[in-house]
Amino acid sequence: MKLLFFKHTVFALLVLLLAQAPRLRAQTDEDAIMMSKKNLCVGATYMRSNWDHYWEGTFKRNNQNLGTVTAQMIGLMGTYGVSRKLNILVNAPYVETKASAGTLHGQHGIQDLSAWIKWLAVEQNIGNGVLSLYALGGASLPLTNYISDYLPLSIGLHSRTVSGRITADYQLGNFFATANYTYTFRDDITIDRNSYYTTALHVTDKVDMPNMTAFNFRTGYRSERWIIEAVLSNMTTIGGFDIRKNDMPFPSNKMNATMVGAHFKYNFKAVAGLSLTGGGNTTVAGRNVGQATGFDIGVFYILDFTHKTKKTAVPAKTN
């Protein structure tokens, strides 16, 4: 019987929550928080997700030849404050995949290096709150020669990317709402065969990768000690094609997913600069993706390079 494979969305593994020290608060490329000047936040996050049902096109099904597909990731991350309004973020994950049934071997290895430049463009008092607008640019490239055409157990798609993002945030007291929109350009990839079939025969080892868009909305409570938030996110592939019935998936498949989740960040009072993050999410709708459920937990620490006798962190907004 021909095995049916399916693409697990690696993007769901990359929903990361960086943390800052007290008065510096959490920061990622998706939130509305800035690192203070000459401060470096470093740390690691562990993530795990799994699925046993998936969408083959719009048809939801399972596969006894795969059982449950599990992905784990350890991400090493850093954020540096060039200034109060300009930050640089980088991360590099180690990913491991496996299936609980069938004969396919799981994969493991270092995936892609990604970097973002984050600019606080506008900060304006409106009513009793503060409206902030951010502009971001990002890029990623594979760090190892991992196999992309081995889905759903590949650790990534091996495509170089360039992304642009706009973020809007409104904070009223300790309550906030943040929305962002991202467009990602994906470069062609090379696979280990000289022909393949999508909706037509291609006699080449080059694969034209479709671009993608992403939307993220988060809202909740944000203070110097805590961030507690609910998150809704969506990714949509611009182009691509559906997995054919009982056929293998392919890196240029259309991959759409809507996910909901919750995250938190806690700044320890006893150890200045030490933070704990965590949360979980689940896929509620999709196309050519697994119905994945996952969690993450991370630890981060602030290094202050201002060489001042007293820390004077200046957050982008006043809580």
Over range 52-81, report the average pLDDT.
95
SS (H, E, C) 27-56: CCCCCCCCCCCCEEEEEEEEEEEEECEEEE
- Radius of gyration of the chain measured on its C-alpha atoms: 20
SS3 75: strand
The answer to whether 119 and 135 have CB atoms below 8 angstroms apart is yes
Element (H, E) at 267: strand 256-267
Mark 178-201 as b/e (b = at least 16 C-beta within 10 Å). Answer: bbbebebebeebebeeeebeeeee
At residue 84, φ and ψ (nearest 5 deg) are -65, -25
The answer to whether 118 and 134 have CB atoms below 8 angstroms apart is yes
Residue 1 has pLDDT above 60, yes or no: no
Residue indicated by tokens 């300009």: 86
Q: What is the pLDDT of residue 12?
A: 37
Rounded to 5°, the CA angle 268-271-277 comes to 35
Residue 11 has pLDDT above 50, yes or no: no
Residue 129 has pLDDT above 70, yes or no: yes
Q: What is the pLDDT of residue 6?
A: 33
- Residue 54's pLDDT band (boundaries 50, 70, 90)? very high
- Residue 27's pLDDT band (boundaries 50, 70, 90)? low
Domain residue ranges in the chain: 10-304
Residue 16 has pLDDT above 50, yes or no: no
pLDDT tens-place string over residues 68-114: 999 999 999 999 999 999 999 999 999 999 999 999 999 999 999 99
- Do you find a cis peptide bond into 142, omega within 30 degrees of 0? no
Q: pTM here?
A: 0.86
Q: What is the pLDDT of residue 72?
A: 97
- Residue 271's pLDDT band (boundaries 50, 70, 90)? very high
> Using CA atoms, how far apart are residues 203 and 295, in angstroms rounded to an integer?
41
Residue indicated by tokens 């650790």: 155
Residue 228, burial from CB neighbour count under 10 angstroms (0-12, 13-18, 19+) = middle
Residue that wins the pLDDT comparison between 29 and 84: 84
Q: What is the pLDDT of residue 197?
A: 92
At residue 131, φ and ψ (nearest 5 deg) are -100, 130
- 258 C-beta neighbours (distance < 10 Å), count: 16
pLDDT tens-place string over residues 145-165: 999 999 999 999 999 999 999
> Using CA atoms, how far apart are residues 82 and 129, in angstroms rounded to an integer?
26
Architecture per CATH, domain 10-304, reads as Beta Barrel (2.40)
- Residue 308's pLDDT band (boundaries 50, 70, 90)? low
